[in-house]
């Protein structure tokens, strides 16, 4: 996945938002493109209006009008003015623009204008290169493209950009008890949440989610789901059926494959984990408990994906615990917590645990915005202890 994502792909500009630019964008033209007016007014020669004031206006002959989108219009000579609109090319001979507010209509009608204020050479004129010059780097490689970058690229006439490809990921949630939200439940059934959660989390870090499937705990159904998910995907993420039960279809189908590894790791939530391949595509097998699935994604998979798409890593922030906590020995615990806005005088923001440790406490997780990391060798911490809080 990292290999493929290191290459680049050319996308139309409208599809580039949030992608990472693969090669620097250099200006192929100067911006502005041509000499144009910054105001609606009159293009004049500054020398002709040098002594102008409200009581001694300069009277100039109006030789024409130029709108945005027109050609350069008539030239402006001594004691002449040409009406110009914002963005219109400034006629040859003029060296400044007088905003229309500083002019009066002359008694002589529209063929003359009275200018009541002086202007310096260059005033209210936008010149090529004021913004960028041909050859300038406008956007560096590695930048995640936002609206402002697309504005620059479009203004330079680029119809598309070379960006890092988005990893294509298939998601498979497993469990015969699972029913799509909104559909009626039978006995023992629950509404499925992992596929929607993981798809959203994957998209948020720059992946294209190619399929989301819910599979029952049946080998045939699961292998069909894997076939569909691998398709042209770079990665498949499964959730559920990796631990010790009778119906662990993910483990049963994928654990014996070459290079596969299924083992509990010393973290909670997110103990049971698996890695395998299907039709040559890597498969990451996350635990099924909804909290475990998301925590595993954030702690284990998100850093790899961010690197693959060229986005900056998400680092923990330092915080102080808002209340006492305990933690199991020998496992890193990730407590769901909410950051409390800075209190005046505090050296660090506070992180307030909003949920117990249970990996099924999915609704409480909605109140959290960070995971507080309690190291494996720590079994209790008092309120006020300094901790790492990883943004969710």
Ligand X SMILES: Nc1nc2c(c(=O)[nH]1)N[C@H]1C(S)=C(S)[C@@H](COP(=O)(O)OP(=O)(O)OC[C@H]3O[C@@H](n4cnc5c(N)ncnc54)[C@H](O)[C@@H]3O)O[C@H]1N2
Q: Which stretch binds ligand X (CB under 6 A): 21-29, 97-105, 174-182, 327-335?
A: 174-182
Among residues 206, 240, 270, 274, which is the contact residue for ligand MOO, using CB under 6 A? Answer: 270
What residues from 224 to 243 belong to the interface with ligand X (CB under 6 A)? 239-243
Among residues 53, 75, 121, 245, which is the contact residue for ligand X, using CB under 6 A? Answer: 245
Q: How many residues bind ligand X (CB under 6 A)?
A: 26
Least Å distance, CB 301 to ligand X, is: 15
Contact track, ligand MOO, 355-374, x by CB under 6 A = ----x---------------
Least Å distance, CB 223 to ligand X, is: 17
Least Å distance, CB 260 to ligand X, is: 15
Contact track, ligand MOO, 284-303, x by CB under 6 A = ---x-x--x-----------
* Long-range pairs of 56-64 with CB within 8 A, sequence gap ≥ 24: 57/104, 57/114, 57/115, 57/116, 58/114, 58/115, 59/106, 59/108, 59/112, 59/113, 59/114, 60/112, 60/113, 60/115, 61/111, 61/112, 62/110, 62/111, 62/112, 62/113, 64/91
Least Å distance, CB 234 to ligand MOO, is: 26
* Long-range pairs of 347-350 with CB within 8 A, sequence gap ≥ 24: 347/320, 348/318, 348/319, 348/320, 348/386, 349/317, 349/319, 349/320, 350/319, 350/320, 350/321, 350/322
Torsion over CA: 379, 384, 390, 392 (sign): positive
Among residues 288, 310, 353, 357, which is the contact residue for ligand X, using CB under 6 A? Answer: 288
What residues from 193 to 222 belong to the interface with ligand X (CB under 6 A)? 193-195
Pick the closer one to ligand MOO by CB: 126 or 331.
Answer: 331
Pick the closer one to ligand MOO by CB: 274 or 287.
Answer: 287
Pick the closer one to ligand X by CB: 165 or 274.
Answer: 274
On the CB side of 329, how many CA atoms lie within 13 Å of its CA? 0
CB 90 within 8 A of CB 67: no
Pick the closer one to ligand MOO by CB: 168 or 331.
Answer: 331
Residue 228, phi then psi, degrees to nearest 5: -65, -40
Quote the CA–CA distance of 290 and 344 in Å, as a whole number: 36
269 sits near ligand MOO (criterion: CB under 6 A)? yes
Note the residues at the interface with ligand MOO (CB under 6 A).
Answer: 268-271, 287, 289, 292, 359
């Amino acid at each position: 996945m990292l290999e493929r994502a290191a290459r680049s792909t050319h996308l139309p500009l409208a599809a580039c938002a949030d992608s990472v630019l693969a090669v620097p964008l250099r200006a192929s033209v100067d911006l502005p493109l041509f000499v144009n007016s910054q105001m609606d007014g009159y293009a004049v020669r500054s020398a002709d209006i040098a002594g102008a004031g409200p009581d001694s206006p300069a009277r100039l002959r109006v030789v024409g009008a130029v709108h945005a989108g027109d050609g350069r219009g008539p030239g402006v000579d001594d004691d002449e003015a040409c009406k110009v609109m914002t963005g219109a090319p400034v006629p040859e001979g003029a060296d400044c623009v007088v905003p229309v507010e500083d002019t009066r209509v002359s008694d002589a009608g529209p063929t003359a204008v009275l200018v009541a204020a002086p202007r310096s050479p260059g005033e209210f004129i936008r010149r090529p290169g004021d913004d960028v010059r041909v050859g300038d780097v406008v956007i560096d490689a590695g930048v995640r493209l936002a609206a402002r970058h697309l504005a620059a690229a479009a203004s330079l006439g680029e119809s598309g950009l070379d960006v890092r490809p988005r990893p294509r990921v298939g998601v498979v949630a497993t469990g015969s008890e699972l029913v799509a939200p909104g559909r009626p439940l039978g006995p023992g059934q629950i509404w499925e949440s992992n596929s929607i959660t993981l798809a959203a989390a994957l998209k948020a870090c720059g992946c294209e989610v190619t399929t989301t499937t819910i599979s029952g705990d049946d080998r045939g159904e699961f292998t069909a789901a894997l076939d569909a998910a691998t398709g042209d995907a770079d990665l498949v993420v499964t959730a559920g059926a990796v631990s010790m039960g009778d119906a662990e279809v993910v483990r049963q189908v994928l654990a014996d494959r070459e290079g596969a590894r299924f083992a509990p790791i010393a973290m909670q939530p997110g103990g049971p984990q698996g890695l395998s391949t299907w039709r040559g595509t890597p498969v990451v097998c996350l635990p099924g408990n909804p909290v475990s699935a998301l925590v595993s994604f954030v702690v284990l998979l998100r850093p790899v994906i961010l690197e693959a798409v060229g986005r900056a890593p998400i680092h923990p922030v330092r915080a102080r615990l808002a209340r006492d906590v305990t933690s199991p020995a020998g496992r890193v615990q990730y407590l769901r917590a909410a950051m409390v806005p800075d209190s005046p005088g505090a050296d660090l923001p506070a992180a307030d645990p909003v949920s117990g440790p249970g990996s099924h406490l999915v609704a409480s997780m909605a109140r959290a915005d960070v995971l507080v990391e309690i190291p494996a060798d720590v079994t209790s911490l008092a309120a006020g202890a300094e901790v790492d809080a990883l943004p969710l």
